[in-house]
Amino acid sequence: MIDFYEQVSKNKRMTYVLFFMFFVLIGTLAYLMSFVLNIYSGGGFAFFFTIFGVLTILFAIISYYASDRIVTAISGAKEAPIEDYKKLHNIVEELAIASGIPKPRIFTINDSAINAFATGRDPAHAVVCVTTGCLTRLNRDQLQGVIAHELSHIKNYDIRTMTLATVLVGIAVLISDFMIRFIFYSRPSGDSDSKGSGIFFIIIIVVAVILAILTPIIAQMIQFAISRKREFVADASAVEMTRNPEGLASALETISKDTEPLEAANKATAHLYIANPLKGQKLWMKSLFSTHPDINLRIKILRGE
């Protein structure tokens, strides 16, 4: 029998390691960008760099505080009235009490594909959303397992983690794009020619360009790795909550057999769902670029196989 407490602890530790790699990567890129800007502008970039920093901070703040409204709007989700969705509300309320968190707001997406997600910056501002396919095609135990998985994301502050990861990817892309454009469309300043001449200058520029191209790719790989780790944690926490691993395992098994893509999902929100909603997409190096771990592996772990 798998030790679910150890599973949660192990995956949380790995998430911290991945975030450390994230910050090192972006820090290295930012330092190299400062060096290149100094060569090209002779130090006259402080004003623009400050504006860039302010815009980045604003982007992070808006993403953090409005994440629930942004995601539900993008997904076409509608709030579920209690009079129309009594069974769903009862399950969410029961599990919220069991997990010791406030009952989140409940939304639905009108789509026959089977999927669900949670969003919000903390348990007090959380949202759980399920597709109508979950409500019509899953039995009560299976639906309970899915809801428990999503509440685990809320309880473990996974949405805050993934929001931060998404913001960091965005920052990496912005820095990389800015640096590439600056290198190709600018000339070194007269004061910097002596510092940036010869083979040293060429090496710095080549390294800067390579890193600027690779950083967004590597950053997304780290983001996806964090997302995959958090799914294992949420699976383990859901079992701890329901004491019924078969409920979630059989729900994932049903989802794995569902070939219908979720129309409202896109690459920006795919990592939030309990299973990859973008069915039928073939990815190069799938294990590195997938937002979710292999669903069959998750089922085997839940069943202790």
Catalytic residues, which ones? Answer: 150
- CA-only gyration radius of the chain, Å: 22
d(C-alpha 135, C-alpha 112), whole Å:
9
Please state the separation of Cα 70 from the chain's center in Å: 14
Report the C-alpha gap between 271 and 229 in whole angstroms: 11
As a whole number of angstroms, the distance between CA 129 and CA 94 comes to 16
Residue with tokens 């975030």: 19
- Contact predicate 269/109, CB 8 Å: no
Q: Distance between CA 42 and CA 127 in Å, rounded?
A: 49
B/e letters for 23-35, b = 16+ CB within 10 Å, e = fewer, are eebbeebbebbee
Q: At what angle do helices 245-256 and 198-242 cross, to 10 degrees?
A: 120
- Please tell me whether residue 283 adopts helix, strand or coil conformation: coil
Q: Which two tokens stand for residue 73?
A: 């709007």
What is the DSSP secondary-structure string of 145-206? HHHHHHHHHHHTTHHHHHHHHHHHHHHHHHHHHHHHHHHHH----GGGTTTT-HHHHHHHHH
